[in-house]
Amino acid sequence: MLKTMRQNMKSLKIVLWFIVAAFIVSIFVIWGGSGRLGEGEKGANIASIGRRKIPTDDFVNGLRNRVEALRRDMKEIDRATIEQLNLPQQVLEQIIEQRLILDAAKSMGIRASKAEVRDRIVALPGLQRDGKFVGYDEYKKVLSYNRIPLSEFEASMRQEIVMSKVVAALTSGIAVTPDEVWDAYRLNTDTAKIEYLALESSTMTLPAEPSEAEIKAHFEARRDDYKLPERREGSYIFLKNEDLKAEVELTEAEIAKYYADNKAQFETPEQVKLSRIFIPLEGKDKALAAAEAKNVREQLRGGGDFAELAKRFSKDAKAAEGGDWGLYDWRTLAAKEIESVGKLDLDETSEPVELEDGWSILKVTQKDAPSTTTLEAAKPRIQTILKDQKARETAAQRMAKLEKSARRAKSLEAAAKEANLKVLPTGLLKSGEALAEVDPAGSVGAALFGLKDKEITTPLSTYGGVVLAQLGKIEAPRPATFEEVRAQVANDLADSRKKDLALAKMKEVRAMLNDRNWEDIAAANKIELKTVAEHKREQYLSIIGESAEVDKLAFELPIRATSEPIGFGTGYAVMRVMERTTAVREDFEKDKAAQMSGVLEQKKNKFLQAYLTKLRAEKDVRIQYQTFLQASQDVLARYEKGGGN
């Protein structure tokens, strides 16, 4: 799943001028979303464009919103997934690109009028009901519910409009040729139904492990392949949050004050869950559709199961789910339906509600009144929050003092001795390499690579506390000795032999294949048989991944002919083509205008990327990587597996 998502992530970057909307409009999808705009953690600037600074708060808010939007789609998301998708880096890059485009807007004199902002807002999908704008009062309520200031939201809309105008101005002269469009059409239209047997070399068993002499011989024959990258060693002081929490003492007054100042955190709005059966007109006589709705209502009145009847009679997006519109989705229904919901009690079913395009029958399946967690019940939660805050504040204060002392003495050791703290060695680390349990994300390892000899880092926040480190030794890249890489050499030799075995096995299997026995041969040899109904060029294949050789064979191999073994990253495969469909000029001509529009958009995106790359160099974009790492870790810590946010 992650591989597919990473592929899809590539397409996010090109739609740069909609990034602001992606961060903001997501609140209408995540009802009661991830926190209001502008609500971030105070800190240093995370990047600069020339003399202009990008506040860390902007990055923190952007990353939180992106993760929350993704969590809605994935249901569950943890820190490891976020890191694998490289979301922190994506969000930072997109914020920088926004600023660059807005800078370009200033130099080009591009602005957005009040009327343009108003028109954009009234057209937002999340503010539509029955195809019309919900109205100014409802719009303000939505923002208030999500704790988003009106002025900040509209300022963001203004920025989105300005960015769209800039992109339109920059790309207005770009055109595409008929040949470019035809080539793109073929890429998207040509398909082949393929079957393939894939054998991963890791499944092979060696008759014997390589001997020491064989491992050494493998190393000697490939010395140039084994090099150690630059590594750095330092010393560090670590202030652990859990240790500092033990020092924290809270008063009842502090707990009560936090409760009073953050009352919204402990308030739960009314929760209403709705089910719906929708009987559409769909060209039917109005009286006939009304009679059908009445008949369904009578069945419900007679004890019929709402979910089963919804599956049988309802014709909307939720019918297959038994008509369940959940706690939030139903808020996008017609105004008459929402008004009816407000009149229903728990487990009560409405009479058919007449709409412009049909009738709906509504049932409230959950109704929880607004509630506020009492101070007494909230106390454990508040204590945890305050202890964590105070521990971090204490760590920051002590580390700031230590940093000042260490810089004055130009020695972390001297500062630690004065504070009666222990200095620990990092050992030799590659850039970004984890530091045991202290820094699993590798922020210390990354920070050491930004230092000069004996230089001291700023305090670095890790998941477990705060670190101050000093660079001690730099080991330049060099050829590795056999002893240093023996384990890697042994693995490489074993992998090489397993791959040879996999190739031999696939040649043996290929010799047994005929037109009808692929499934039987696959089962007998415990090899996976995969079928792809419509393979296209540059398409990702399960096990194999992306393969130019597979793409070539898919459109050149004779139908039902078996290929020779094809090597891929982790093994070998054989394939055959069952059917093939290729682009037809006549069909292309019918859809040429739409195809040209799509190819033109792609070409504009490529130009825009090149333009932004040039701007980055001209505007002297600089990222404060230590601040970036600290801010990223602080946000990601909220998504540790088994934890909350």
Q: In this predicted model, what pLDDT tens digit does every residue of 224-267 receive, in sequence order? A: 999 999 999 999 999 998 899 989 999 999 999 989 888 877 87
User: In the chain, which residues have pLDDT < 50?
Assistant: 1-43, 642-645
Closest CA to 275 of 334, 324, 345, 329: 324
Does the pTM surpass 0.75? The reply is: no
> What's the pLDDT score for residue 613?
87
Q: Which two tokens stand for residue 400?
A: 């700031």
3-state secondary structure of 469: strand
Q: Which two tokens stand for residue 50?
A: 């020339």
- How far apart are the C-alpha atoms of 62 and 333, rounded to whole Å? 29
Closest CA to 517 of 534, 529, 507: 529
Residues paired with 580 in a beta bridge = 192
The enclosing H or E element of 227 equals strand 227-228
What residue has token string 């049909």?
A: 358
Closest CA to 86 of 565, 617, 628, 610: 628
CB contact set of 460 (below 8 Å; sequence gap of 6+): 439, 443, 444, 447, 466, 467, 468, 469, 626, 629, 630
CB contact set of 538 (below 8 Å; sequence gap of 6+): 187, 546, 551
- How far apart are the C-alpha atoms of 4 and 46, rounded to whole Å? 30
Sheet holding 528-535, edge to edge: 528-535, 191-200, 571-581, 566-568
Q: Which two tokens stand for residue 28?
A: 């209408």
Q: Which two tokens stand for residue 632?
A: 């990223």
Q: Which two tokens stand for residue 214?
A: 């064989």
Residue 533 — φ and ψ, nearest 5°? -70, -40
**Length of the chain (residues):** 645
Closest CA to 392 of 236, 237, 238, 240: 240
Contact 361, 312 (CB under 8 A): no
